[in-house]
Amino acid sequence: MEYEKWSDVFGTVNADNNLNESNVIEKIKEKLKGEDEGEYEEWEKADFDVSHQFKDGSTLLHWATKMRNKEVAELLIKKGANPNLQNNNTPLHCAVERNDKGLVEVLLKAEGFDLNAQSRDGGPLLHWACAIAQSNKDLVEVLLKAEGINVNEQSENGDTPLHYAVGGYHGDVLEALIKEGANVNVKNKDGKTPLYLACSTRYYNEDVVKALLQNSAEVDATIPLNGVVRYGSIDIMKDLIDKGADPLLENKDGKTLVDLVIESYKNCPNIGEFLLSWAKEKNLTDIVNALTEKRANFKTECGYLHSYVQFGRTDEVKALIKEGADVNVNIDGNTPLHLAVIYVREDIVNFLLDNGAGVNAVNRDGNTPLHLAAEYGDIDIVKALLDKGAQVNAVNGDDDTPLHLAVKYSYIDVIKALLDKGAQVNAVNGDDDTPLHLAVKRPHMDGINTLLKVKGINVHIKNKDGNTFLDSAERYVIEVRNKQIDRGVTFYDILASEGNKLASYMQNESIARVLKTGNYKKEFPLWANIIESQYEKGMERRILLDKTAEAMGIQHPDLETIPELPLPVGDKIASFLANVDLENFCKSANQRSC
């Protein structure tokens, strides 16, 4: 309710063409009084202070930021709004959370801004910018240029922005921080450096590790090698051990790197080979014997095909297939094609497809190779699979289609490719989420824009939480919620209505005329396709209702005026009738076809 209230307030104020510094407070007062008189009176007691904190601690500047109202935010700053007050976050934290570079630039103009203020929810400002889901290098660079920003500031846990960039897998942001003097060897309160995090299983990213090593990150015996084992980066493994990482260091479960390799040898035989040579050099007889035994068992149990695929050894893969290896052999639930997709081995994917690999094989999670390609985001692999007949609407164990996964992980090229091949835009998964529900959860604006342009997109489907896309997309519907068409009816009302309600709007000639012209398409490009579709649906329903009323001998187009029925009943009955039912009724009454 709070969000909707302030959305209405700021939507109206922002749409005022006469808004300026001298009247911005009056405009907000006027609208707020009509929305929430109690809140208005509390503000009045504070002499309408521009920095007054309302119920949840938010100031006007907070709300202007949440609504992405740059113009209003600028005017409030000119009026002296305090930029450092918190509702758990400062307004600038809110702008960073929304990944809005332009709004951040506006707020940085405020006098007295404490750029190193700690948010009660999540730490310093630059940390937030480095951790948000949609990495924005440009936004981070804007903050780095701001006077007073500390690139090496530590949070309560001792983490620097560089720690956060590693945790978010944002290599481009990491490079920007290092360029501005970020300390690659600083430790947090747990004694962990950025390199420590980057090498762990949870945060492992080969490009990030390489970037840190290239920028003089120090390696010592405590650096974990778990992530390197899991993802098989043999060159990184050699480099780390050469520089001092200890393969015999125990993790929290009391296991060393050697233990992990022995336990899962088939997933990392190349690292096993390297460690075998290392153990021989160190005269570690027990380790040599254990690794030698594992290597022998590996050769007899499952062969090398999966491992060669995993580590991109194309020539070896081709040789094994030519020697008769089963191209569809299933080990631990995956075929070689599944692994080639997971590890983004495009040349191997193409070779396997050309040599009989099952393009729609499912693994233990119900994922086809196309599901995995959509999740990992390589557009060339996606196209190769689609060209070989991959089922674009296959569902996995969670009832996700490839389109659900492409939207979930924000791969716009993959989204478009799947839609071009007929992906069902209204498909629901196990949570009854459509791809559009997932797009707004990210949030992923490119994905939302693309999906909303698809003919037949349904914004009224409810998920298991009972929410439609429109319910979840408050921040995106502000503009249409506040734009009236006629006498209190907004474009949002057109978007949100169905059936007889939608048809009733079309009985208003002023509304129908505005929608028919299509002039709204330039003002609301995001919603243009749906508004047009709603207009067509509403007009179709209106015509059918009119003809049904005519067939029943009723002059007024509303069925609720049927004299033999209580007033609401006729309309209620009609609301349960689909268009085809109304058409059949007309035909049965010997009227011309509707």
Q: Is the pTM of this model over 0.85?
A: no
Spatial contact of 361 and 396, defined as CB atoms under 8 Å apart: no
Q: Which residues pair with 119 in a beta bridge?
A: 123
Spatial contact of 353 and 319, defined as CB atoms under 8 Å apart: no
The total of other beta-carbon atoms located within 10 Å of residue 547's CB is: 20
In the chain, what are the domain boundaries? Answer: 474-588
Q: For residue 482, give the DSSP letter.
A: S
pLDDT along the chain (594 residues), means of 10: 82 87 93 90 94 91 90 93 89 86 88 75 77 73 88 90 83 89 94 90 81 89 78 78 85 81 69 83 85 66 73 87 84 91 95 96 96 95 97 97 94 95 96 92 77 88 90 71 82 83 86 87 78 86 80 54 49 65 69 48
CA dihedral sign, ordered 566, 568, 570, 576: negative
Rounded to 5°, the CA angle 223-224-226 comes to: 155
User: What is the pLDDT at residue 535?
Assistant: 86
Q: Which two tokens stand for residue 426?
A: 């209204």
Q: From the centroid of its chain, how far is CA 564?
A: 54
CA dihedral sign, ordered 175, 180, 186, 189: negative
What CA–CA distance (Å, rounded) separates 49 from 2?
20
With residues binned 3-state (H G I as helix, E B as strand, rest as coil), the percentages for the chain, rounded to 5, are 55, 0, 45
Rounded to 5°, the CA angle 65-71-77 comes to: 70
Q: Which residues pair with 123 in a beta bridge?
A: 119
Residue bearing tokens 């400002």: 125
Contacts of 333 (CB under 8 A, 6+ apart): 363, 364, 365
Residue 119, φ and ψ in degrees, nearest 5: -75, 140
What CA–CA distance (Å, rounded) separates 32 from 450?
35
Contacts of 159 (CB under 8 A, 6+ apart): 123, 127, 188
User: What is the pLDDT at residue 573?
Assistant: 61
What CA–CA distance (Å, rounded) separates 53 from 379?
48
User: What is the pLDDT at residue 342?
Assistant: 94
Q: For residue 560, give the DSSP letter.
A: G
User: What is the pLDDT at residue 303?
Assistant: 52
Spatial contact of 80 and 92, defined as CB atoms under 8 Å apart: no
Q: Is 277 exposed, middle or buried (0-12, 13-18, 19+ CB in 10 A)?
A: exposed
Q: Which two tokens stand for residue 563?
A: 């004299």
- Which of helix, strand or coil describes residue 124? strand
| Bond before 443 cis per omega within 30 degrees | yes
Contacts of 482 (CB under 8 A, 6+ apart): 7, 8, 11, 12, 14, 15, 490
Q: Which two tokens stand for residue 420?
A: 């071009």
The total of other beta-carbon atoms located within 10 Å of residue 522's CB is: 8
Residue bearing tokens 């060209």: 387
Contacts of 65 (CB under 8 A, 6+ apart): 73, 91, 92, 94, 95, 98, 103, 107
In 442-575, alpha helices (H): 445-452, 469-472, 474-481, 491-496, 499-506, 509-517, 520-523, 528-551, 567-575
User: What is the pLDDT at residue 206?
Assistant: 81
What CA–CA distance (Å, rounded) separates 255 from 248?
8
- Which of helix, strand or coil describes residue 168? coil
The total of other beta-carbon atoms located within 10 Å of residue 51's CB is: 16
